[in-house]
Amino acid sequence: MSDRPKVAVIVGSFRRHSVNRRLAEAIAKTTAAKLDLQILDYGEVPLFNQDHEADPPAAVVAFKDAIKAADAVLFVTPEYNRSMPGVLKNAIDWASRPPGQGVWSGKPAAIAGASPGALGTGAAQVDLRNVLTAINVAVMGMPQIYFVHKDEHFTPDGGFADPKFQAFIEGWGDKFAAWIAKMNG
């Protein structure tokens, strides 16, 4: 399966029991035949300081290199106060700098998110999509993933319990693979 596109997964939560990380892992498992999804560890990326953008800390260099090496990016974000978490915006900002050395332009991407609340990260995803437009990320328009988290929505082995949702995510994986091929064409 070496021809599967490599997708860097950026989870917008560092929490050990993050429901977004759980969603990301279930998406990775469900779409494994078509996509090679790897969750990035960017917990050491410091707060952005423009004084250091020309010679960034090692964690930032590693984060940028991981994005560069990936065929695509999947953002899996919580919603904090009707927007994306600061850790996610901070990492996006670092990797957009300095001018001419950002890693985002033209990168195919998709967005997903999980919340225990009924709105399922809709507002955060809209804000994230706006930000990604500003740095020329090629975000897939449809289908979109808004996941209301409940323990019973997962199988014990980390898949999706509802066969209809499982099929939806499989179809989403097919469409994202096609989007990546088209954008990287």
Ligand X SMILES: Cc1cc2nc3c(=O)[nH]c(=O)nc-3n(C[C@H](O)[C@H](O)[C@H](O)COP(=O)(O)O)c2cc1C
Residues lying near ligand X in the complex (CB under 6 A) are found at 13, 15, 18-20, 78-82, 115-117, 119
CA-nearest of 133, 54, 61, 126 to 91 is 61
In the complex, least distance from residue 125 CB atom to ligand X, rounded to whole angstroms: 11
Enter the tokens of residue 179: 């989007």
In the complex, least distance from residue 99 CB atom to ligand X, rounded to whole angstroms: 31
Q: Which is nearer to ligand X, 18 or 96 (CB)?
A: 18
Q: Which is nearer to ligand X, 20 or 125 (CB)?
A: 20
In the complex, least distance from residue 185 CB atom to ligand X, rounded to whole angstroms: 33
Whole-angstrom distance, CA of residue 19 vs CA of residue 149: 7
Q: Which residues pair with 38 in a beta bridge?
A: 8
How many helices, marked H, and strands, marked E, lie in the chain? 5, 6
Q: CA-CA distances (angstroms) from residue 171 to 22, 48, 143, 160, 176?
A: 19, 37, 9, 14, 9
In the complex, least distance from residue 36 CB atom to ligand X, rounded to whole angstroms: 22
In the complex, least distance from residue 42 CB atom to ligand X, rounded to whole angstroms: 15
Q: Which is nearer to ligand X, 41 or 65 (CB)?
A: 41
Whole-angstrom distance, CA of residue 134 vs CA of residue 17: 31
Q: Which is nearer to ligand X, 42 or 179 (CB)?
A: 42
CA-nearest of 44, 48, 58, 59 to 97 is 48
Q: Which is nearer to ligand X, 1 or 16 (CB)?
A: 16
